[in-house]
Amino acid sequence: MYDARDIEKKWQDRWEASKIFEANPDPKKEKKFMTIPYPYASGPTHIGHGRSDVNGDVFARYYRAKGYNVLLPMAFHITGTPVLAISSSIERNDDKMLERMRSYVSLHTSNKQKVEKVVKSFTDPWNVVKYFSETIKIDLKSIGMSIDWRREFTTGDKLYNKFIEWQFLKMKNEGYIEKGNYPILFCPRCNNAVGEDDIANGDELDLNINEFTCIKFPFEDGFLVPATLRPETIFGATNLWINPKGIYVYALVNGEKWIISDEATSLLRTQGKNIEILEKFEGKNLIGKKVKAIHNNAELPILPGTFVDTSTATGVVYSVPGHAPYDYIALIDLQKNDKLLNQFHLSKNEISEIQPINIIELKEFDDFPAKIYCEKFEVQSQDDKEKLDKATVANYKNEFYNGFLNEKCGKYNQKPVQEAVKLVINDLIQDGQAAKIYIPITRALKCRCGEKIFVTILQDQWFLNFNAADWKKKALECLNRLEIIPKKYRQNFVNVFHWLEKRPCARKRGLGTKLPFDKNWIIESLSDSTIYMSFYTIIHIINRNKIEADQLIPEVFDFVFLEKGDVIKISQLSEIPKNVLSEMREEFSYWYPVDHRHTAIMHISNHLSFYIFHHAGIFPEKYWPRMITLIEPLIVEGQKMGKSKGNLISLAEIREKYSTDLFRFYISHGADLGVSMDWREKKIQSVSSHIDKFYSFVKDNITKSKEIDLKIEDIESDYSKLILSKMIKSFMNAANALKNFNLRKYLQIGFYETFNLIQEFKKNAENESEFIVVLSILIPDWLKLLSLTIPHVCEELWEYAGMEGFVSNTLWGDFNEKYIDQDIENEYDYISNIIKDILNIQKIAKTQNNDKIFIYTSPRWKIDALKIIISKKGDFDLILTEFKKNSEVMKNKQLIPFIKAQIKNRVWETTYQDIEEEELIKKFINLIEKRVGRPIVLNSSCDPTGKALKANPFKPAIYIGD
RNA sequence: GCGGGAAUUGCCAAGUCUGGUCAAAGGCGCUGGACUCAGAAUCCAGUCUCGUAGGAGUCCGGGGGUUCAAAUCCCCUUUCCCGCACCA
């Protein structure tokens, strides 16, 4: 056993003191710029982050071991609302948030008073940021990350703001940014846009917004205005529905006279419409009157519909009984209901003449879809809300994805419904026959402040337009050159790129950087994190030279990143010394582009895509990213990890509960990149004992080797040479697995396979001194190999073995490749196969205790024949022709069956081993006897069952008997 | 729905790109043995079916195809997982 905590602290401190992970440009060395996304500083990091962090660190250490100059930097993300949400919740003493923050802070201190003090300080957002960035840094150091911390920053720093301002000015100049209207959720009391964090139960509710089209049916001197999600069905409208008991109004809406429900007026007001209510009245007053259709001259009656909800949209519905189950059933209800007809003085004849109109062609539907779906879901009346909702969804889905409008729809004839919806909306709005309103999908959304949330329309929202100019083309080109591992994710990127259209890139509140050309806006959190890797290359120079934010004028970044402008002029403008500007430019051009970015697949459709777009849009090709590796998410005991589930494991706990090397090993070996990792407590415990064993085994052998005065050159036994050869080969295989970033395979071979091999060898080794010497050759390479994953243990053993410097800083070299001896390995494989066969026979056949084992090697003629078969690559005719040259051989009756059998086995494809079988068996006879526990008799004339005849080359015959 | 991914022998999981060396790595579990008073741990052996001779048969979600040869390539199908925009 060893004390992990001590060892880890010791080496982490030494690494820091010796600055071995601080990377500086070195023109003589090839560079690798490796990045992992920076963590969000609103809470502690957990093992999910830990997986990508450790992966990234292992890759960085791998690059170092291969001789690259490696930069692995880290910073903190604080942009947006989460930090503000923490502060405001603490401010108003929100119990849940207080509890959460207490538990977070308790991870790093057990002093309750201190916890309370820290949590109280969170009323200031910057204290939140400061606290979490500091503790996350502690956590990252504690898991052995080989980070150059000189380059740390937060996205709220003034210096960073200047950098992002430059980025957005640049994007604006390129034409990637534009203004437009945008509907968002809004809280009138907070007078703010609201997101998931601000909404009660926001994480569980559907926060999407529905876009309704209000259609203006001419009525009297104004319009009766129903709202719909399906404006394409306007061609199938037969009547309108009004709730007779509802309160409706005549109102001037932006100067036009509309009839809508009373409740709808406040909704329209919030969406920027100017409303003046002229008169309120009950819905029943409208019943029986008629509106004019908008697509032809038909007159549509206004009928009573109790299902109409005046608080939804405009409180007016137009009826499409052919395609809407609600409308269909309401029509049937009315036609049957004489009482109701009488009550509203409606003509029974007229109403019963109303027929659904079919406007959508649907395969295999010979009746109105609304009718079919009503029957399918057994709808009885318009009050069967539950069934009607289901029928409506099913009906709509089918029509939307499979339907085509028919000849009744004029110029939209034969258009797929999916397409027609957009066309109809655009045309109606263009012609002034409709307007849009927006309504949250979830009704009665409440802000955390208690106020009801509604949708408002931002008139001047800033968007990134991914379709602007040739931006997308460039991004696709960048993607084309980019290596994506595992490959299976590439298609995903391609599809996302095509799907990306516009993205709002600024918000009204939150931490971050103000839009340089419109200071009312703050750049949104994903948009300010796309090219930040370039900032790592210069931030330490900015800090070291005490450059102020004001000095970071756009010209500075143009010069550093884009090689534009005159250094003397820029130096004068910015008051940054010329040599500092040049240093920044040189450092940037040394490290850029990012060679390797590693993160989780969930970022493909947002961050990683923006990462590529923004690089492609801003930087010249030579600075475009080179490679992305991806991991699937981490789950805990088969369950998603989450705050609400209470199964979140933070990195701070790792340090206490397990050990860093154990964590690093387990998380690296637990799953391949493209597979989700299941964290299992039981498993991690068994890995723990494996590492302990490894440590003691290596340490013991180092101790022993110090007492033995023998040189590797003095090694004599073939078995020792075999050990060396096999182990070195395994090292190389393990190292090869890393070339493809296959961590699991690397550890499977580099740790388990080698460890098993070495233990088997130890058991069978004849000469212990030789074994120890062999190990002393192997151990340094083994430590180098494993130091990527378990660096602390390896450093400790490295030091114990008396090696120079840090193993973390040592090149791999060729792992003593010169000791690989294929001949010895072939011989050993041959003997192993014989032993395996004997054991197999012993298992099946009931042999006696006093049995001997007879081995018969292949007769000479078979070996000769085999050579011919192999030389002719199994072509039967050619082989026979060859044999016919020698009539003696052809007399052998066993020849043809032998040839056929060998052809069937495709022997020419297996490596032909040039082995003298009898000699070899003699040489290893002791080993064989030891393993099978019986005496061996080789090529004896005693052969009671005629086995000797069956001996084949490299497959000697075996007989067990006495 | 759109887009992406996955399905392997009790469970987890390699292998699939690049077809043959694949009854198919490794781990867990289980069975037997060693050690032990006993348990834990550790070590050894076995773990699709059949087999008193190193073998044979069947098998990689289901169905079809290509090939001398398919877990691997092609087509169809079923089931499951993930992403879908102002949320970091």
How buried is residue A499: exposed, middle or buried, by Cβ count under 10 Å (0-12/13-18/19+)?
exposed
Q: Is the CB of A174 under 7 A from strand B?
A: no
Q: What is the pTM of this model?
A: 0.83
Q: Quick check: A80 CB within 7 A of strand B?
A: yes
A607: CB within 7 A of chain B nucleic strand: yes
- For residue A482, CA distances in Å to A34, A609, A638 come to 14, 12, 33
Segments in A787-910 forming alpha helices (H): 791-800, 822-844, 860-871, 876-884, 887-890, 895-904
Q: Is the CB of A745 under 7 A from strand B?
A: yes
- Does residue A868 approach strand B to less than 7 Å at its CB? no
Asked whether strand B has any atom less than 7 Å from the CB of A670, the reply is no
Is A445 near strand B, with its CB below 7 A from some atom of it? no
> In chain A, which residues from 869 to 928 place their CB closer than 7 Å to nucleic acid strand B?
906, 909-910
What pLDDT does A892 receive?
A: 76
Where do the H-state alpha helices sit in A66-124?
82-91, 95-106, 112-121
Q: Report the range out of A16-20, A832-836, A894-898 with the highest average pLDDT.
A: A16-20
Whether CB of A799 is under 7 Å from strand B: the answer is: no
Checking each nucleotide's C1' against the CA of A947, the nearest proves to be B53
Residue A363 CA and nucleotide B78 C1' are separated, in Å, by 24
Phi/psi for A227 (5° steps) reads -120, 145
Q: Three-state SS for A657?
A: helix
Residue A601 Cβ under 7 A from any strand B atom: yes
Nucleotide minimizing C1' to CA distance for residue A748 = B26
pLDDT of A444 higher than 90: no
The conformation of residue A447, written as its DSSP 8-state character, comes to B
CA of A680 to C1' of B40 (A): 20
Q: Would the pLDDT of A39 be above 60?
A: yes
The rounded distance, in Å, linking the Cα atoms of A90 and A128 is 11
A55 touches strand B (CB under 7 A): no
- Is A41 (CB) below 7 Å from strand B? no
Task: Calculate helix-pair angle for A325-336, A369-376, nearest 10 degrees.
Answer: 80
- The spacing between the Cα labelled CA in A840 and the C1' in B72, in angstroms, equals 30
Burial of A586 (0-12, 13-18, 19+ CB in 10 A): middle
Rounded percentage of chain A residues whose pLDDT exceeds 70: 96
Predicted pLDDT at A908: 67
Residue A288 CA distance to nucleotide B18 C1' (Å): 76
Alpha carbons within 13 angstroms on the beta-carbon side of residue A539 total: 23
Assess whether pLDDT exceeds 90 at residue A337.
no
Angle CA(A65)–CA(A71)–CA(A75) in degrees, nearest 5? 135
- DSSP letters, A570-607, are HHHHHT--HHHHHHHHHHHHHH-S--EEEEEGGGIIII
Which nucleotide's C1' atom has the smallest distance to the CA of A638?
B12
Q: What is the C-alpha to C-alpha distance for residues A816 and A808, in angstroms, rounded to an integer?
A: 19
DSSP annotation of A441 reads S
A39 is near strand B: CB distance < 7 Å: no
pLDDT value for A101: 94
Using DSSP, state whether A795 is helix, strand or coil.
Answer: helix
Q: Who has greater pLDDT, A199 or A304?
A: A304
Residue A948, Cβ density class (10 Å: 0-12 exposed, 13-18 middle, ≥19 buried): buried
Nearest nt to the A202 alpha carbon by C1': B87
Residues A698-706 have a mean pLDDT of 91
- Angstrom distance (rounded) from CA A785 to CA A644: 40
Say yes or no: Cβ of A488 under 7 A from any atom of strand B.
yes
Q: Which long-range contacts (CB under 8 A, 24 or more apart) does A429-434 make?
A: A429/A213, A432/A216, A433/A215, A433/A216, A433/A294, A434/A213, A434/A214, A434/A215, A434/A216, A434/A231
For strand B, the positions having any atom within 7 A of a protein Cβ are 1-6, 12-15, 17, 20-21, 25-28, 41-42, 44, 46, 51-54, 82-88
A503 touches strand B (CB under 7 A): yes
DSSP, collapsed to helix, strand or coil, labels residue A538 as coil
Flag the least confident range among A61-65, A577-581, A710-714: A710-714
Q: Residue A426 CA to nucleotide B84 C1', Å?
A: 24
Q: What is the mean pLDDT of residues A556-568?
A: 96
**How long is the CA A607 to C1' B64 vector, in angstroms?**
42
pLDDT at A893 over 90: no
Query: Distance from residue A956 (CA) to nucleotide B66 (C1'), in Å?
Result: 39
For the stretch A12-34, pLDDT in tens is 999 999 999 999 999 999 999 99
- Please tell me whether any atom of strand B lies within 7 Å of the Cβ of A284: no
Q: How far is the CA of A810 from the C1' of B26 (A)?
A: 30
Within 13 Å of residue A73, how many CA atoms lie on the same side as its CB? 25
Euclidean distance between CA atoms A748 and A745, whole angstroms: 5
Contacting residues 210-269/A vs strand B (CB within 7 A): none
Assess whether A672 (CB) lies less than 7 A from strand B: yes
Q: Which of residues 310-369 of A touch strand B (CB under 7 A)?
A: none
Q: Which nucleotide is nearest to A195 (CA to C1')?
A: B87
Tell me the pairing of strands A275-282 and A247-253.
antiparallel
Cβ of residue A837 near strand B, that is under 7 Å?
A: yes
- Looking at residue A513, its pLDDT comes to 95
CA–CA dist A580, A546 (Å, integer): 11
The answer to whether strand B lies under 7 Å from the CB of residue A1 is no
State, as a whole number of angstroms, the distance between the CA of A104 and the C1' of B7: 40
Cβ contacts of A69 within 8 Å, gap of 6 or more: A23, A25, A26, A29, A30, A31, A32
Instruction: Indicate whether A847 pLDDT > 70.
Output: no
In this complex, the answer to whether residue A501 has its CB under 7 A from any atom of chain B, a nucleic strand, is: yes
- A678 CB and strand B closer than 7 A: yes
A507 touches strand B (CB under 7 A): yes
The protein residue nearest B14 (Cα–C1') is: A745
Rounded average pLDDT over A602-621? 94
pLDDT at A910: 61
Residue A349: enclosing H or E segment and its boundaries?
Answer: helix A348-352
Cβ atoms of A771 and A762 within 8 Å: the answer is yes
Distance in Å from B58's C1' to A898's CA comes to 28
The pair of structure tokens assigned to A838 is 């004997």
Read off the pLDDT band of A848 (50, 70, 90).
low
Residue A714 has pLDDT above 90, yes or no: no
Contact A282, A245 (CB under 8 A): yes
The burial class, CB within 10 Å (0-12 / 13-18 / 19+), for A670 is: buried
* Across A534-552, average pLDDT: 97
Sequence-ordered list of residues with C-beta below 8 angstroms from that of A756, at least 6 positions apart, any chain: none
Minimum mean pLDDT range among A99-103, A332-336, A949-953: A949-953
pLDDT for the residue numbered A846: 67
Closest by alpha carbon to A727, among A645, A828, A641, A637?
A828
List the A846 CA – B32 C1' distance (angstroms). 18
Q: What is the percent of chain A where pLDDT is above 90?
A: 45
**Could you tell me if A394 and A373 are in contact, meaning their C-beta atoms sit under 8 angstroms apart?**
yes
For A273-284, the pLDDT digits (tens) are 889 999 999 998
Q: Determine the distance between A949 (CA) and B38 (C1') in angstroms.
A: 54
Pairwise pLDDT comparison (A273 vs A886), residue with the higher score: A273
Q: How confident is the model at residue A473 (pLDDT cuts 50, 70, 90)?
A: very high
Question: How many residues comprise chain A?
Answer: 962
Res A364 pLDDT > 70:
no
Confidence of residue A98 (pLDDT cuts 50, 70, 90): very high
Number of Cβ within 10 Å of residue A256's Cβ equals 14
pLDDT band at A909 (very low <50, low <70, confident <90, very high): low
The rounded mean pLDDT for chain A is 88
Distance A764 CA to B43 C1' (A): 15
How does pLDDT run across A370-423, given as a tens digit for each residue?
Answer: 888 888 777 787 777 777 777 777 777 777 767 788 888 888 888 877 778 878
How does pLDDT run across A108-147, given as a tens digit for each residue?
999 999 999 999 999 999 999 999 999 999 999 999 999 9
pLDDT band at A730 (very low <50, low <70, confident <90, very high): very high
What mean pLDDT is predicted for residues A668-686? 88
Is the shortest CB-to-strand distance from A940 to strand B under 7 Å?
A: no
Show the tokens assigned to A233: 């069905």
Of A329, A448, A384, the closest CA to residue A85 belongs to: A448
- Give which of A789, A811, A809 is closest to A799, Cα–Cα: A809
User: Beta partners for A506?
Assistant: A523
Q: How far is CA A264 from CA A246, A253, A301, A775, A862, in A?
A: 12, 11, 22, 83, 96
For residues A763 and A813, give the distance between their C-alpha atoms in angstroms, rounded to a whole number.
29
pLDDT in tens, A504-528: 898 888 899 999 999 989 999 999 9
- Identify the weakest region by mean pLDDT among A319-323, A565-569, A583-587: A319-323
Residue A911's pLDDT is what?
56
Omega cis (within 30) before A188: no
pLDDT at A601 over 60: yes
Measured CA A906 to C1' B25 distance, in angstroms? 24
- Per-residue pLDDT tens digits for A144-180: 999 999 999 999 999 999 999 999 999 999 999 988 8
A748 touches strand B (CB under 7 A): yes
Confidence (pLDDT) at A155: 95
